[in-house]
Amino acid sequence: MISKLFFIQSVIFFLMFLPIYFLNVYGEEPILISISSQLDNVVFDGKWTTPDEWKQSSYNRLGFDDGTEIHLRTAYQGDFIYVQVNIASDKFIDKLADSALICFDTKNDKTTLPQSDDYCFFTALDAKKSFSYQGSDLPAINGYFTKITNDKDFVAVGSSSDKHDRYDKTPHPSYEFKIPLNLLGRSDNYGFFISVFDAHTKTHHSWPYKVDNQSIISIPSPSKWGDIVSPDKSLPEFNLSILFVVIFPIILSMQLFLKFRFSKSSLFLK
């Protein structure tokens, strides 16, 4: 009986830490994007226009050793993916110089050299123009990505936040993107890369974290990008990674425990 108990405890222990092993093997935990029914109301001014504007979206806090803090909101609705990149820790508003870049590997085949299914989108703070880039197997100044004509429905705006910001009332750079799915194609799993630049400290901060600081003229290989995944369509405003890391193992453990208790009491009944 003791050995059986030990076996079950071992299984429970293993299951509880399985997601952590999974994440380590995998590298970076994916960004989990949620579906929204409200983001078509977003006002593209770069910032939280109202305190509720981006409420119905997934949330990821990206923290860095130097204190840099990025609040990432992602969602999809209809024919678009919506992304807000909010650099709450950057208190220096460097117009036309602070910038943000987001990239999608639409087949998520993580090729070493960028391919035509890889896209990047760039905008700078208060810039009048934003730019789209597509992967190419021809070497280019920006590392195999060439500028393409913006899709007519593509929007990217960067500006200084204000009192409606959800994270910090001190003005800081914030960016809003609207990416057409007719460009990316529909998928529940894209490769994903994000990089922001603070002109004051002249530093880039990127996700996945393992990617060294990069610049617009040197976009890292898609093989180094992370993933943005759509696992569930009903849980807006909830960091779904909690489900994988904490709640699922607890439920599994409880089920195993109850099963064990049940079989034990069955034995007594006999």
Figure out which of the listed residues 121, 198, 220, 229 binds Ca ion, where binding follows CB under 5 A. 198
Cα–Cα nearest to 108, from 117, 116, 98:
117
90 binds Ca ion (CB under 5 A): yes
Only segment of 75-83, 88-96, 138-146, 208-216 that touches Ca ion (CB under 5 A): 88-96
Greatest pairwise CA separation for the chain in angstroms: 79
Smallest gap from residue 91 Cβ to Ca ion (A): 8
Minimum CB distance to Ca ion, residue 100 (Å): 11
Using CB under 5 A, which of the segments 12-20, 35-43, 55-63, 107-115 binds Ca ion?
35-43
Q: With residue 213 as reference, give the H or E element that holds it.
A: none
Query: Using CA atoms, how far apart are residues 7 and 20, in angstroms rounded to an integer?
Result: 21
Does position 94 interact with Ca ion (CB under 5 A)? The reply is: yes
43 binds Ca ion (CB under 5 A): yes
Q: Could you please report the per-residue DSSP string of 41-70?
A: G---SSS-SSTTTT-SSEEEEEE-TTS-EE
Identify which range of 187-195, 196-204, 208-216, 262-270 contacts Ca ion by CB under 5 A.
196-204
Nearest CA to 77 among 120, 31, 38, 51? 38
8 Å CB contact between 86 and 70: yes
Tokens describing residue 232: 């569930």
Q: How far is the CB of 115 from Ca ion (least distance, A)?
A: 32
Residue 243 has which token pair? 């489900």
Q: Is 98 in the site for Ca ion (CB under 5 A)?
A: yes
With contact defined as beta carbons under 8 Å apart, do 194 and 207 qualify? yes
User: CB of 94: closest distance to Ca ion in angstroms?
Assistant: 4
Provide the minimum distance between the beta carbon of 49 and Ca ion in the complex, in angstroms, as a whole number.
4
| Alpha helices, DSSP H, located in the chain | 2-26, 181-184, 241-242, 248-269
Is there binding between residue 49 and Ca ion (CB under 5 A)? yes
> Nearer to Ca ion by C-beta: 177 or 244?
177
**Among the residue ranges 20-28, 198-206, 208-216, 224-232, the one whose residues contact Ca ion (CB under 5 A):** 198-206
Interacting span for Ca ion (CB under 5 A) from 39-47, 72-80, 211-219, 251-259 = 39-47
| Residues at the interface with Ca ion (CB under 5 A) | 43, 45, 49, 90, 92, 94, 98, 198, 200
